[in-house]
Chains A and B, each alone.
Chain A
Amino acid sequence: MNENELTYARPINWDELNDLQKDYSGRIMYLAGGDYHPKVREGVAILIDLQDLEFDQVVCMDDMTLFGGLVNLQQLGDALESADLQEAISIEAGINLRNSLSLTNYVKSSNGRSSMQLCLNALEASYRLAGEDNPETFSLDLKKKLSGSFIEEMQIQNPVSLAFAAVGRSPKDQPVVAVAASKRSDSRIHVACGGLEGMWAEFDIFYGDDDGETTIRNLYRGAEDAWAGAEYRQEAAAVLLSRCLQKLWKETNTKEEA
């Protein structure tokens, strides 16, 4: 790539964006806010900076909160007012990085040790990518698509009822075991767990069913890498899940009493 041939554009409305997309089809790199290490890919002819298209907005509604793909991690934490989510984001990054990194670039780079992503998965956040009509929940396919696209909107249902617990080597270390659980409007508890880079496990616990211990132990069977052994992870994950569930039940009871 000849650096001199690369151009930069900052569209101020959808029409301009559409025109650029047509003119540079297949040779576009989107600048969707701050990124870990912005680096121009081979073959890119234009950098389209999305910052003037209002993707950095948070819209709070009764039943859901909408986040543009350029919302940064700090905005996200502030908007959802969940202490556990804020703790997960804090583990993820110090304040500078939270102010810098956008939702789009975070999701694109996240892995199974990403605390905030586990929380978003527990909350069953759905993402609508540029040019697509239907929102989708997190998947490896979504991450793949983000390498050439961006999040227009992420939706999270209200009210947010989230519990997060993790084990790391220090209070703000990336976890080797992490569990996030969210109470859903249909009374399910949705659980996301991780602590290994490639682990994206989610399951539901229904009222009246078991406490999820067997399920989570099964999920961590063989979950061994350079960071921790499977036996340890199975034990610790069961403990963390139990704590998350207790927290959610306590929260529910407190609300009901109120």
Chain B
Amino acid sequence: MKLYLLINDKTYETDCAAGESLLSVLRRLGLLSVKSGGCVRGECGACTVLMDGKPVNACMFLAFQAQGHNLETVEHFGEHPQQGWKQTEGYDPIQKAFIESGSVQCGYCTPAMILAAKALLRQNPEPSEAEVREALSGVLCRCTAYVKPVQAVLKAAEEIRRSEHETAEIGANISEFEPDMVEVDSIPETVTIGKSEVKVDAAKLTLGKPAFTADLQLPGTLTAKVLRSPHAHARIVSIDASKARALPGVAAVLTWEDLPRVVYSTAGQSDPIPGPLDMFSLDNKVRFVGDRVAFVAADTAEIAEKALGLIDVTYELLPVIVDPRDAMKPGAIRIHDEAEYVNFADSDPSQNLAAKIRIDIGDVEKGFAEADRIFEQEYVVPKVQQVHIEPHVTLTYWDEDDRLVIRTSTQVPFHVRRQMAPVLGLPVKRIRVIKPRIGGGFGNKQEVLIEDVAAHLTIATGRPVLYEMTREEEFIASRARHPMRIRMKTGVKLDGTMTANQMTALSDTGAYGCHALTVTGNTGQKSMGLYVGDGEYRKHPNIRFYADIVYTNTPPSGAYRGYGVPQGYWPLDRHFEFIARELGIDPIVFRLKNALRPGEYQPFSTAWNEGREPVPEVIQTVGLEQAVAEGKRAIGWDEKFGNEAWHSVAGKPHLRRGIGIATVMQGTAIPNLDMGGASLKINDDGSFNLLVGATDLGTGSDTALGQIAAETLGVELEDIIVTSSDTDTTPFDVGAYASSTTYISGTAVLKAAKEVAQRIRERAAQIFEARGEVVPAEKVELKDRHAVAPSGSQISMAEIALDSLHWRNQEQIMATASYVSPKCPPPFAAQFATVLVDIETGQVKVEELVMAVDSGVIINPVAASGQIEGGIAQALGYGVSEEMIYDAEGQPRERDLVDYHIFRADEMPEIRSIFVETYEETGPYGAKAVAEIPLDGAAPAIGNAVLDACGANVLDNPLTPERVWHALKLKHEGYTNGKA
């Protein structure tokens, strides 16, 4: 049928099936700013369009329902201000405000937010913050905590009111969005470093340019779907795909019988992967509800889905293990009985053991013997999901040289290439992996999760194949944070000195052992490592961390931002809060008394390195005390803590306020393992191409790396053209994980830039000499896009470029460098929360979250504060609302974003970030990591605030109303430690 749609003031005519959705048609027509979040209940809002001026979800209408209505997408608004000879109107004020405010992180939901803001400001040019939050309430964002988007809309409103025609230069307002900054160390003067530059990728994302994986539309592309297991544990007795294969429009159906049996791990990590190999593309056994059974490729998604229903599978059901405590019991069913299983370290599939950790530092038993009191308690942390709004998506095709191109939303393009090669039966050199823009990953795309699905189908059909997971698949079949049951035992003197600290973890890796060892290792290393004790114990701390990581018939756990550390801080910090209160010591004093200080060894560095040789490391920069001081000031700790008047709410005796703190430490890269490379070359106009293997997944790393190059070369950030993550064209990088990019890849960029800068100085010296001025190269300064002699005479960067490329002794000024660090300098932070607890229902309302963080020198304050805010929002969910539950048969409770609730714009607490800047000598321009640490302390700070409010000591995370209510009951029955 003919369909006519009025979109952005233009009438589109297209053939359309009556049942095709508006979302599908808009994307088919090339309006690719309209995204799919894979949801089926309109939860995410990524597909927002304006229909007759109002924001609606395109997935909730069939295309024909939109006929006769006025549709607008973000393509309607704004354009790049410089289009050669063509005059343009530039960006829309809302786009401009989003760019300047740092509102664009992954950018997947940005067009939707801009449209929602547009609708609001047309109706209400002077909105309140609450009205802005309400307007954005239909678009879920997992990156920003909505802090900067709300600020952006308010700023845009102000700009529009001031003058519709007066547009300041992009970046003019950026300082208004900067966080509070406090210098702890003396930091050298810089020009670009430390400046809140506009992100290099922000503009295109506000304009809705086709930057993401699924935005490339190749003719003849097939749509892939995966048949998933309805059973948690079963053997496939028979599988008949003949009816599915016969369905018109189906190009291929693959079952385990069709594929070579290659065992591998989906964990995207360096070689050798520190974990067992226990996965096949398709197997004759399923190990969780949602495990793979068959792949289908068809002309349309509807045909592919229909084909899934035509595959007949006979299962032999097997006993199911859901509770990790059952996994190692004698007689438990063995989940991995395949002959091809490859062990790593202490993994033992006969015991359902994916990994085992035993770390002893000092003499723990002696430490307990020296203690005046010993505290023991068990805590539970849940399985939670990353919820990147762009689902996993991969497009594969053969290029003109018969090389397989994998265009994929991944954090680890080079690992994808290496790990997929044997699975696909191709040599590495015949695979090219391209990482386009990523719509969020948060660790879940550190998994080589779906690339094989599309690739096998491309190999089978010879055609391009697009596989995009649905939201339900994300919940039942991607990866999640490892749930753990953790027992703490801590010995202390009565003055608060810790004499020994022991953590014993039972970690649930689910059906496959991806990241089992390394995530859980971090749980101990980066939480327990923060506390060494005081006095003599500082030199000889007594710490023990034991963990068993077991298989169960639940979806696999994996990497999630924080990588095991949030699991450690819930029990550790809640335990410390309890101990301090029991000893009658101020909780902050107790923490700082025992915390690591500059010049001390990170205790775990002497004993553990993710299965490799330990590298003892003395920590040089520790801004924890300053972070605590700044955070206390910001949240008003001294006015609130211990102040009964503040804790009560006038006229509402059922409400109680509370305040809490958690102090935390993360890591910065994996020492002697994580490696990043960078190449830099000059262009005719004095601009530079910077090629990095590093993977910007919305974090702003491309911008930070560009700033490092610009600072070193004495040019503007806009002179650095950053290209990242293409295995054919950029240098190797391990990828975006372990908070390594700024530190590792940044140092590689710094090294390459220094080399290029030196060559520029040498050429400049030659040019000066030719002009009759003798200047040693080392005396030439690079600044303001010029090489400047001590006399003040100068040569432009463009002239040096032309000289080197065209005029004399021609050469390409360029350098390639790489970096691997022997150090892992940790960032530190203090996180604070205030809460309001309904003591009759147990409901917790988080009112404020403040984080003061030492991440070394901050390269880009606006971008870095965005990392903190977004991370806090994820940690907030971990604290109060997010968890994944399975019944006794392994059936999941959560399959969508209604049941798995993440915070909306109109319910967020106030969030504030502060940087206390130390200068880390080993980092590029003094930088340490920032991306993961905000995940660590919010949940325990909230838990501690609830304890402070009403005495409810909740041991299991998250703090659901029922758990708080139960803890209150226990308290009333006289149990203060949260257990009867």
A residues lining the B interface (CB < 8 Å): 3-4, 6-8, 10, 31, 34-40, 47, 49, 51, 90, 93-101, 167-174, 176-177, 226-229, 232, 235-236, 239-240
Contacts and interface: CB of A to CB of B under 8 A. Distances in A.
B18 A99 contact: no
A136 to B, nearest CB: 26
A79 to B, nearest CB: 16
A103 to B, nearest CB: 14
Interface in B101-146: 116, 134-140
Contacts of B962: 176, 228-229, 232
Contacts of A177: 841
B254 to A, nearest CB: 25
A50 to B, nearest CB: 10
B1 interface: yes
Contacts of B51: 99
A169 B958 contact: yes
A31 B54 CA distance: 20
A38 B21 contact: yes
Chain B interface residue count: which class?
35 or more
Interface string B833-854: 0000010111101000000000
A217 B51 CA distance: 46
Given A100-B56, A226-B893, A229-B962, A174 B898 contact: yes
Interface of B: 1, 17-19, 21, 40-43, 45, 48, 51, 54-57, 59-62, 64-65, 67, 116, 134-140, 302, 654, 838, 840-843, 845, 880-881, 885, 887, 893, 898-899, 901, 903-907, 958, 960-962, 965-966
B59 A37 contact: yes
Given A95-B135, A100-B57, A169-B881, A176 B19 contact: no
**Does more than half of chain B's interface fall in helix, strand or loop, or is it mixed?**
loop
A244 B116 CA distance: 34
B880 A34 contact: no
A6 B961 contact: no
B901 A169 contact: yes
A44 B59 CA distance: 20
A163 B893 CA distance: 30
A174 B961 contact: no
A171 B845 contact: yes
B17 A6 contact: yes
B40 to A, nearest CB: 4
25 contacts: A8-B18, A34-B65, A35-B61, A37-B60, A38-B61, A39-B19, A40-B19, A49-B64, A90-B906, A95-B135, A96-B139, A97-B42, A169-B881, A169-B961, A170-B901, A170-B903, A170-B907, A171-B845, A171-B907, A173-B881, A174-B899, A177-B841, A226-B885, A232-B962, A236-B840
A172 B907 contact: yes
A229 to B, nearest CB: 6
Nearest to A177: B841
Given A3-B17, A235-B965, A236-B965, A98 B138 contact: yes
A187 to B, nearest CB: 28
A170 B846 CA distance: 9
Contact of A100 (B40, B42, B140, B907): B42
B65 A31 contact: yes
A239 B958 CA distance: 23
A38 to B, nearest CB: 5
Contact of B19 (A6, A99, A100, A101): A6
A96 B57 contact: yes
Contacts of A226: 885, 887, 893
Contact of B904 (A94, A101, A229, A235): A94
A163 to B, nearest CB: 15
Contacts of A97: 42-43, 45, 57, 60, 138
Central interface residue in B59, B845, B905, B962, by most chain A CB within 10 Å: B962
Nearest to B61: A34
Given A6-B18, A36-B42, A49-B64, A96 B138 contact: yes
